[in-house]
Amino acid sequence: MPYLEDGETWSTDFQCHEEGMAENKPGHRKLTSYTLPKWTLHPLTHPFSGQVVGPKDYMYSAGDGFCNPMRWSIAHVGTKFGDVSILARATEEELSRQDCYGATPAVYCVQHGTAWCLQWLYEHGANTTLPDAEGKTPEDHIWLSKNDLHVSQQEWMFAALRGS
């Protein structure tokens, strides 16, 4: 909707109105005059409101190409960054692989608060009950206070573990 003519560049003109849009309709209040809460993302301002994660943020996360001292798989990286498209590239073995501490990608989901990835793992047959080296399952990690999960996030995690 607010792309420029090249189809890739996002327009920074928040005063514009396109046919079919409710925002900035002639005779109505302008979008820029509203004060939206910080937790909302409006479609016109979305690229500037979210967190930008580029390829360099992923680079070498699973080792330098020659060695992988943490025993991470591509699934560990995908769950850490909350990127389901990376998870889709992982093999069945990688979806349940344990790192050097015994943590599976499901544990990484809980540690990084990515409930949507945890549900994706459950739906694609990953082992979401495998304990880590300390004997704690992903469900145990949800209860731990060091993860700083809010009650609503804990509920999302439990729902994702059940696949609902």
User: pLDDT digit string (tens) for 93-133?
Assistant: 999 999 989 999 999 999 998 999 999 999 999 999 999 99
What does the alpha-carbon distance between residue 130 and residue 32 come to, in Å, rounded to a whole number? 49
- Give the C-alpha distances (Å, rounded to integers) separating 25 from 36, 41, 98: 18, 20, 54
Burial of 121 (0-12, 13-18, 19+ CB in 10 A): buried
pTM reported for the whole predicted model: 0.63
CATH 1.25.40.20 positions along the chain are 55-162
Q: Residue 124 in 3-state DSSP?
A: coil
Topology given in CATH for the domain delimited by 55-162: 1.25.40
* pLDDT tens, residue by residue, 12-42: 777 777 777 777 788 887 777 877 776 666 6
pLDDT for 84 equals: 92
One-letter identity of residue 130 = L
